[in-house]
A = this chain, B = another copy of it.
Amino acid sequence: MNECKVAVIGATGAVGQVFLKIAEERQFPISQIRLCASERSIGKTLKFNSEEIPVELCTRELLEEVDFAFISASGDISREFAPIAAEVGTVAIDDSSAFRMDQSVPLVVPEVNANDLDSHQGIVAIPNCSTTPLVMVLKSLSKVSKVKRVVVDTFQSVTGTGSAALQELEDQSSKILSNQNFSVNEYPHQIAFNVLPHIEPFQENGYTREEMKMVYETRKILHDEQLMVSATCVRVPVPISHSESMHIEFEDRVSPEEVRQILSTEAGIKVMDDPFSDVYPMPIQATGIDDVLVGRIRKDVSHPNGIAMWVVCDNLRKGAALNAIQIAEQMMKKDVVKHSNWR
């Protein structure tokens, strides 16, 4: 397969827009593109490769006509259309959490577990945007020593929620700066000039769903059910790119030099670690680029086999749209787009 037909479901959203941009940048070989969104976007057109493409509603017929359906809308939309795509012989590459923990659905970051694509049955899930940089770092470092435990605190941007949350951050910020009243819709509390230790609903164990996703998705992707992970996921008033403070405990003693060395040879990872020159990853640098940025690599002074580091990744690119496109590229290269299991 040298070229493919694709549908983008959620084309007008934050991830959808970045998807179109990346598909152009990478010259992803699309012979035909269909752009789907909800009722209220019908009548609009979106530009792709300087063509104006009309926005359509997603239907079974439309899904029959494409090879890939990239879905980044809501869990409900994914639950509705991904199974239909699989049924009609199309591969759904799904950005929602709806199918991630489904045993028949591969959950894939191509640099980490591309082989899991071989057994797909028509739906492939991409991980939560805060899981992706974590598994990339852990997979790479597991070549040096087995990873036993990770404590991770996140600093997540508002586009993880979507375009409306970005609008709300801007609106609240500008109203607070001019002493005006503002409204709170996207989050339970004000996000401008504040931080919220609350992403996704709370679970019985006191963690949020977002935090437990980082536990379960990481184990699934790394095929390591013994790996201990604890996360605190925090929303910060940043437009794009998620930052993560990681504390990794290995089976053996690992040096910061080894870590720096191995990460700097890894595809998709860029080491930015020259603190004495004020060089470390930040959201303003990660935004708009493909690589996961890693810095502040140091021996954890509180654990004999610990390494601490600071990782920043564009949540719309590698955290979502880019990873989805890379999955499609891999499937075409591996020639596993069509698969008898799911016919």
Contacts and interface: CB of A to CB of B under 8 A. Distances in A.
Contacts of A194: 238, 282-284
A308 interface: yes
Contacts of A195: 155, 236, 238, 243, 282-283
A301 B211 CA distance: 11
A151 B280 contact: no
A302 B236 CA distance: 24
A43 interface: no
Nearest to A295: B197
Interface stretch (A68-76, A169-177, A329-337): A169-177
A247 interface: yes
Given A155-B236, A202-B275, A278-B198, A301 B230 contact: yes
A81 interface: no
A239 interface: yes
A28 interface: no
Interface stretch (A2-10, A91-99, A185-193): A185-193
A194 B153 CA distance: 16
From DSSP, what is the main secondary structure of chain A's interface residues? mixed
Interface string A282-301: 11100000000001111111
A149 B305 CA distance: 14
Interface string A301-320: 11100101010000000000
Given A236-B195, A238-B195, A256 B206 contact: yes
Given A197-B281, A230-B300, 14 more contacts: A149-B303, A153-B232, A174-B174, A189-B284, A194-B283, A195-B236, A195-B243, A195-B283, A197-B280, A197-B295, A207-B301, A208-B275, A215-B301, A230-B302
7 contacts: A151-B151, A189-B284, A193-B237, A206-B297, A207-B301, A215-B302, A247-B247
